[in-house]
A and B are shown apart, each in its own frame.
Chain A
Amino acid sequence: MSGALARERPTTAIVIFALLLTAPFWLPYVGGYDALATRVLVFGLAAMGFNMLLGFTGVMSFGHAAYFGLGAYGAGLMLRYVTSSTMLAVVSGTLLGGLAGSLFGTLIVRRRGVYFAMVTIAFGQICYYIAYSWNSFTGGFDGLRGFSRQPIDLGFTSIDIQGNGTAFYYFVLLIFALAAAAMGLILRSPFGRTLLAIRENERRARFLGIPIERHIWMSFSISCFFTALAGALYALLNNFADPLGLHYTLSGEIVIMTVMGGMRAFWGPLIGAAVFVVLEDTISSMTVNWMSFVGIIFILVVLFFPRGLLGMLKRRDAA
């Protein structure tokens, strides 16, 4: 096994970042807009975080919306009740979702396969019903409102991410780039290699003396932190957090984005998220049956490009 990352050429990253950096300039010409690009980044980050677990550790979770949603509520509650600092809100959202994932992870790392996936759904639904029922604190089904992202004060100047959609896009892009770099470093480290070893052959890794459970727990926790970070950014994007952000249907969408884009490729989930979000946005303007189209496209991708869209673009001999 050459390792998935060895196949990642820096040029792929350069092309992706060149496109992302210039997005606000070319998007209007292809029918896009800033909020759509920001949404792609947010879901791309969530799916890439999730892919640490699915693609690089080989463990399936159907409850990642829980951490995404907790991230959103963490950021929203912070802005609503405590402080008007956008950065603190992002940090608190990430911590809330990430720590909840880490705690919960200790309980489930011994489960495997479908059992692991089912318990993750259950935990997600617990979070969903708490947010749904706690009307006085979370706003219940109507969602948490009455907060909005605030301009970032750098001391010498302040950046207006509140009223300026393009500025907010670049703010999210910066965080996305830092997070992607961190993920890349983690996966290139010996720890990341060990995760790949577990994915490829768990029993052999165990015989080599690798503490499997601890590694899976760490991978799960890290994955939750990144997904929660995406959730916090989502709350800032909408100035709103609602229980549907915790619902298992969103977990399913994150899985779809990841698999569609290519779970063995580092940038695959971002491509998947872009395709999913843009399809949803365009087809739903044309027909109310847009979900059928997204479903059909997903089935076609799984049937004909099992390695995902990005996997399909890559050289066959690299497999």
Chain B
Amino acid sequence: MDRKIVGLRRRTLLTAGATLGGLQLASPFIISARGEAPVKIGMVDPLTGSLSAPAGPEVEGAKYAVAELNKAGGILGRQIQLLVEDSANDVGTGVQKTRKLIDRDKVDVIFGDVNSGIAYAMSQVTNEKKVLHIVPGGHTDPITGADCKWNVFRICNTTTMDATAVSGELIKRFGKRWFFITPDYAYGHSLQDAFVKQLKKAGGEYQGDMLPIANSDFSGTLIKAKAYKPDVLLNNMGGLAQVDCMKQFTQFGMEKEMALGGALFELEALQAVPVEAKAGWWTMEWWWNQPGVPHVAEFVAAFRKATGKTPSARHWFGVVAVHSVKLAAEKAKALDSLKMAHALEDLELPADVALQPGKVRYRAGDHELMPNIFVGNAHPAKAGANPDDMFTVAKLVPGEEAAGSVADTGCHMKYPA
């Protein structure tokens, strides 16, 4: 006599039942009382994959700011809780994690992502769910340009801002014949377009190669660049690819034949390249060494004490993102997304958050932060100096000057009725 129940063994069923029961105890139950619930911030960033190098510091900066603010009483008297999720540099995962944070964890604000494509896809979700969304470090123009949304604010510069800021210096110092090495996706395209626009204005000429985003072998392209004999080689690659490109550039001995430059060469990348590759003209979106500017030295010292690291622009993005939530919530006296979005418009960052000279505000027309852009040259740290002192700022370009008008960005801000 076959005593099976429904094709499963009785013991299996019993085990399954016991496991399910156990799971009930082990899993997090939904919180029912929300009296003094913390202010929840959800952060989605590519902690794994080729953009993990810039993503890690953003999260670290946000965590640092959360810890500091919590010590000082949090936001509207409530503690802040930061929930971090890995987008794995994949759009589907990033979108799903955003829904998880909003639907399940009921976060008040969303941060992310370093990858502009994911940041854009996330903004569709946050817009649909009407949740305030701050993009700390995804650079492509449309996020605060043609695709701008009422609930989306951005801290890092647009690619156009970075390219415009450094172009003038490159033309003035080296010349108007350029060779581009550009990653073949929207970020790369819009960056190169911005450079070409400035170059054409000055009457220059160029050639270039579009390479896969995670390219690791640059020998073919570098040989081509050598043959073209440009005044400047523009390395537009990002993350690990940029570092690989720099290393091969110096291995080929090309630094003697042409100048090197580009939009971004972040502190994280500078730390990763060998001494010979610490060179060229770039922009920093924030730089830690600003002698004489109030609050900066204290911030750097406190950050070093807490984390053992010198703060980079990515750290600063994370810090500004958290402080923006606090500033918006306190100005709006609420955590409502719509009210906070209105509060953030034209909101000026206080000096101890802006950490740079001049006025830094979120422009109302396109929700883009308008900080200074630090144009300068990279070099190995001088003997006796701090090992992270690898960049000398030559010029501060005001963000507004590099960004152009709101009309130029193509943004038409629409609020829900």
Partners in one complex: yes
When C-beta atoms are compared, the residue in chain B nearest to A241 turns out to be B91
Complex A-B: 8 CB contacts under 8 Å? A33-B99, A143-B117, A239-B95, A239-B124, A242-B92, A284-B88, A315-B4, A315-B7
Contact with A along B91-132 (1 / 0, CB 8 A): 111011001100110000000000011001100110010000
The minimal Cβ–Cβ distance linking A141 to chain B, given in whole angstroms, is 3
A28 to B103, CA, bound (A): 10
Residues A240 and B96 in contact in the complex (CB < 8 Å), given A7-B7, A288-B86: no
A153 to B187, CA, bound (A): 38
Q: Which parts of B77-95 form the interface with A (CB within 8 Å)?
A: 83-86, 88, 90-93, 95
Interface size on B, residues (CB 8 A): 46
- Asked if B203 CB lies within 8 Å of chain A CBs, one says no
Given contacts A8-B7, A11-B8, A238-B91, 18 further A-B contacts (CB under 8 A): A11-B6, A12-B7, A12-B8, A31-B28, A36-B100, A140-B185, A141-B186, A142-B116, A143-B121, A163-B128, A165-B99, A238-B121, A281-B96, A288-B48, A288-B86, A313-B8, A313-B9, A315-B8
B7 engages A35 (CB within 8 Å): no
B103 engages A165 (CB within 8 Å): yes
A281 to B140, CA, bound (A): 28
The minimal Cβ–Cβ distance linking B324 to chain A, given in whole angstroms, is 24
A143 engages B91 (CB within 8 Å): yes
- Asked if A145 CB lies within 8 Å of chain B CBs, one says yes
- Asked if B27 CB lies within 8 Å of chain A CBs, one says yes
Best-surrounded residue of A7, A28, A143 (most CB of chain B within 10 A) = A143
Contact of B86 among A15, A32, A34, A284 (CB under 8 A): A284
- Asked if A135 CB lies within 8 Å of chain B CBs, one says yes
**What's the A-B contact tally at a CB cutoff of 8 Å?**
121
Interface size on A, residues (CB 8 A): 46
Contacts of B88 in A (CB 8 A): 284
- Asked if A314 CB lies within 8 Å of chain B CBs, one says yes
When C-beta atoms are compared, the residue in chain A nearest to B20 turns out to be A30
When C-beta atoms are compared, the residue in chain B nearest to A140 turns out to be B185
Contacts of B8 in A (CB 8 A): 11-12, 313-315
The minimal Cβ–Cβ distance linking B45 to chain A, given in whole angstroms, is 10
Contact of A135 among B47, B48, B189 (CB under 8 A): B189
- Asked if A245 CB lies within 8 Å of chain B CBs, one says yes
A135 to B86, CA, bound (A): 27
A245 to B213, CA, bound (A): 16
Contact with B along A11-37 (1 / 0, CB 8 A): 110010000000000001111111110
The minimal Cβ–Cβ distance linking A250 to chain B, given in whole angstroms, is 9
A235 to B346, CA, bound (A): 36
B27 engages A30 (CB within 8 Å): yes
Q: Which parts of A30-70 form the interface with B (CB within 8 Å)?
A: 30-36, 39
